[in-house]
A and B are shown apart, each in its own frame.
Chain A
Amino acid sequence: MEMLIFLLFAALALGSSLVVVLHRNPIYATISLVLTLFCVAVLFVLLGAPFLGVLQVLIYTGAIVVLFLFVIMLLNIQKQGRDESAFAGQGLQAAGAIGGAIVFFLLVGLALWRSGLPELHPLTADLVALKGLSRDLFAEYLLPFEIVGLLLLVAVIGATVVARKPPEDGPATKTNPEGAEL
């Protein structure tokens, strides 16, 4: 049963990640990313981290990818035309990058094959339950937790400042002091 679920969602994740990278239309690539993220969330649940799976769906697909879609629609990014290549650079550079990626994957595969990975213990309640995760977060990892909170605040402020419309002609303009910034 677990094998069946793994095979289904792993195949789906691989297929949709290929679509993400290869499709010409950015909207379709983003939708495929949603599918990939959902499959990875299911795999998290299989690996005994149900909270991370749920958080992945809530944060990644529920917020981040929506942001992507909004930006794509705001900037009206068209899909690449038929005659233009979707890939930068000459064929040699692209082949080099893809070749390098394949070599890396083969090396990882080789390392895994040669190493003796120990057998999996059955899932313990300690690993899966929220209690352990939250206790670690608020006891041992409190400092990183607070720093990440600060980081998110800084990111929100920074993104708002960077993306807003620049003021029209500089400080001398007083025509619209209460201007609605859209």
Chain B
Amino acid sequence: MTAWGEMTTGEETTADMTTSAPAQVAGVPVPLDVEAVRRDFPILGRAVRGGNDLIYLDSGATSQKPRQVLDAERDFYNTRNAAAHRGAHLLGEEATDAYEGARARIAAFLHANPDEIVFTKSATESVNLVAYAMSNAGTSGPQARRFAVGPGDEVLVTEAEHHANLVPWQQLCERTGATLRWFGVQPDGRLDLSNAAELINSRTKLVAVTHQSNVTGVVPPVAEIAAAAHAHGALVLADGAQSVPHQPVDVTRLGADFLVFSGHKMLGPSGIGVLWARRELLEAMPPFISGGSMIEVVRMEGSTFLPPPARFEAGVPAAAQAVGLAAACDYLDALGMANVAAHEEALTAHALKALSGINGLRVLGPLNTEHRGGAVSFVLDGIHPHDVGQVLDELGIAVRTGHHCAWPLHRALGAQASTRATFYVYNTHDEVDALADGIRQAQEFFGSESAGAA
């Protein structure tokens, strides 16, 4: 029996999984054994409103956790809990091994090197880490100066970004006098790259772009954007909060210089996130959050800092959460990320078809699954998303309503707010049908003129 949390590379599958789906064979995805997967998630057994079974379609907000992840975190607290990187006692050594082992495991999940993995609290904090490194770069010595931005420099984002990959860049520009520019979106939510030659230029210092939209599911061509950015000496940050959990990601081929993501969206615990960055960048970046753990020598007159990744990990490490995230990587690799992506693509295709049969419903985003992941957001004539969500909630169906932390994207797509369903490894085709039924019930309840089949 392979112990959870042991290091495996991305390619190996641990043979003894309770989730018995094998990795893909000869490049062809293998269907997930969803019933077996669901048995690993205790929360899916509970009843919600009206005694209905939980139909959880809000993994885009946060994912549910399999008992293997919960057990790994609990096991750390039960057997190896101590402050990592401190103390010369046995427990301290074991905690340190667990923490660093988790780092290596997560690196392998991305085909990265462990010393390129920085643990943060979340994707949001990871973006802020880079933004504040750039902010602090002007006053942190010659090595960091390459990251400094000021008047005349440009930071390029997109209108499709989650606020986490937008607001920190707005703030950076406000603080430093740099100019914020952005790609717009087409009516189907895909990026409008027609003016890329103008927007990516010699003044561009950084391009921040989503790797998968949390509203439309769109997967932009990050590698192409990165090639153009690099040709002008700009760095590229990809927001992987919705991609790393849902599709195979290989940082050696992504093209980006920075990748951010959150543990809690990929079956892992809350409170742990990752910044992956090229080693030579981390070596030159100044710290964001400072304090203990990240220092080399401390005197009252000033301090020096450790090399990365430690330089960016102030405070006692969130070791239990890192161990939990490593266990999540094990779980996902046992399923096979290509199989996970194929499962979601099938659910998304089913959802797009089922919803397109509903009169008065408009999907925000592409209607095909070409470079498009499993977020299906929609507006319904005459019924506000909040009210749609309320009816669905009554039926046990959990969706998200509002602007999903992507307000500018909603404005660009002509919607004030939307209802969003997101899919993950534990969702089924029956649940997609239940969603479509629930939407029709909302139309009946509110007596909308658009009720009925197309």
- Pair from one complex: no
